[in-house]
Amino acid sequence: MRTALRTTPAVLASAALALLALGAAGCGAGEQRAEAAADTVLEPAGSRGPDPFTASATRAAPTPLTRTEQPLPEGEGGKDDGPRLVAGDTPGLYAGLPARTGCDVRAQSRLLTADRPRAGAFARAAGTPADGLGRWLDDLTPVVLRADTLVTAHGYAKGDVTTYRAVLQSGTAVLVDARGVPRVRCVCGNPLGPAGGDRVGAPRGKRWKGYEAGEVRAAAPAARPLSALTLADPAHGHWLERPVGDDGTHDRAVREPSAPPSAPPTEPPEEEPSPESSGPWETVPPSTDPGETPTEGGQETARSVRLGPGGED
């Protein structure tokens, strides 16, 4: 994937329109009942939040981690109570470790398909056919949020779909789609959609240390489907590229994304726009799936990783 580290207002404006359209497609089920629209639920990375769809499909966080700080994409907006809008193809918007993921997509699929009514409700909330749910999940990419992120979340209670706005804490394991938008929260299996609107809203729930409404990001769909995502590796201070729909098996090391130009370009960029990146991986919660083997940490995560063409160090 080729990306340029510049997000122009025109691109973000078109992305915002796509964001609103996608949000409408994912939230049209007549039986959904919305919670208080003015409130925004604060969801810590380890919390399952309101009305979880499933048990956790997260993997244990690898340790130890050096927590190397890398710049976080600034995005557009962020004034007053508005989120900073960042295009989904922005390098460093999400984090990852080489050949490691914080979410088990297969486990998530098993948890959903074990209950047909629940799977049907999930599919309706996600805006995808129920009979293709497994394929839809396989096409998503496991990553970790590097900033507190505003989303539209859906829960499951008494056989019905609930809808509410939420801010997910930095460090939350999610699955994103081919345009870089979070679609599933792995600790609870809740489907997600674009944030919609230009306000974060009144927070409901306990604020975590460092939470500021003006620093909240919202992912806008990339202008076109991506082939790969450029992730920050906060453990080693490196960058990696993860193919869309991949479980980390085909991660490869890439150069640090270049800084944006000091002046706006005189011609439209040939490549995808994007800013820069930062945030914790440590808060990815351990799996609660009894049949899952936690990812091991130790020396493997502490060593410097530079992958060659064949995937070898």
The per-residue DSSP string of 96-122 comes to: -BTTB-SB-HHHHHHHHHTSHHHHHHH
Using DSSP's 3-state secondary structure scheme, residue 91 falls into coil
**Of 62, 110, 85, nearest to 233 (Cα)?**
62
Strands 39-43 and 202-204: parallel
On the CB side of 236, CA atoms within 13 Å amount to: 20
Q: Where do the structural domains in the chain lie, given as residue ranges?
A: 9-290
pTM score of the predicted model: 0.72
Residue 206 pLDDT more than 70? yes
Identify which of 12-21, 27-36, 205-214, 292-301 has the greatest average pLDDT.
205-214
Mean pLDDT throughout 77-103? 88
The per-residue pLDDT for range 244-276, each reduced to its tens digit, is 999 999 999 999 887 543 333 444 444 444 333
Rounded distance, CA 11 to CA 18, Å?
11
Q: List Cβ neighbours of 229 (8 Å cut-off, separation of 6 or more).
A: 1, 89, 94, 141, 143, 176, 180, 241, 242, 244
Q: What is the pLDDT of residue 32?
A: 38
Lowest-pLDDT choice from 4-18, 141-155, 195-209 = 4-18
Residue type at 34 in one-letter notation: A
Q: List Cβ neighbours of 161 (8 Å cut-off, separation of 6 or more).
A: 29, 31, 32, 33, 121, 124, 125, 154, 155
Per the model's pLDDT, the better-predicted residue between 112 and 38 turns out to be 112
Residue 14 pLDDT more than 50? no
